[in-house]
Amino acid sequence: MQTMEKLTATTLQSSPLTHSRLKYLAAMAHTSEDHISRLGMGLSLAEGKVDSVWSTKSISSEVGLLDSMNEKKLRGRTLFKDELAIWMALVLRHQTPADYDEWRQVMRSHWERGVEILMEKSIDSGDWLRTIRACLPN
């Protein structure tokens, strides 16, 4: 229970690249960065286990699309809403974080990996509706 309370109260910090991607994708979708963040988390969780020290990688075809940004700070309460137990259960399907610090890192890694997955799909698809369609299982 203490881990859940701490995760809800925490603030996750992304890389500048993830923040730029969030801005780009939110503008493309005409929605908030928070919605893009949750969609990304779901995509990453569907991929399975993520290394807790996972880091973003630049995609060659996104050069020129993104502005330089600072890190994105996102409160756990904003990312997880009232669904933290569901997000944690989805993580537990593939890995078992040992403590609060590892849970925090895993959640941050899923968030950033998911945004990267979504960015790759958006570059390949060209518009938001095709990007969303590309997220569906075949």
pLDDT tens-digit series, residues 61-72: 877 767 777 889
Confidence of residue 96 (pLDDT cuts 50, 70, 90): very high
Query: Residue 48: left (phi > 0), alpha (psi -120 to 50), or beta?
Result: left
| CA–CA–CA angle 39, 45, 132 (5° rounding) | 35
Q: What is the pLDDT of residue 69?
A: 76
Among 14-18, 41-45, 102-106, which stretch is predicted with the lowest mean pLDDT? 14-18
Look at 6 and 1; give whichever has higher pLDDT.
6
Q: What pTM value is reported for the model?
A: 0.93
Chain Cα centroid distance, residue 69: 17
Q: Which residues of 37-65 are buried (b: 16+ CB within 10 A; e: fewer)?
A: bbbbbbbbbeeeebebebebeeeeebeee
CB 69, CB 16: distance < 8 Å: yes
pLDDT tens-digit series, residues 32-77: 999 999 999 999 999 999 987 889 998 888 777 677 778 899 999 9
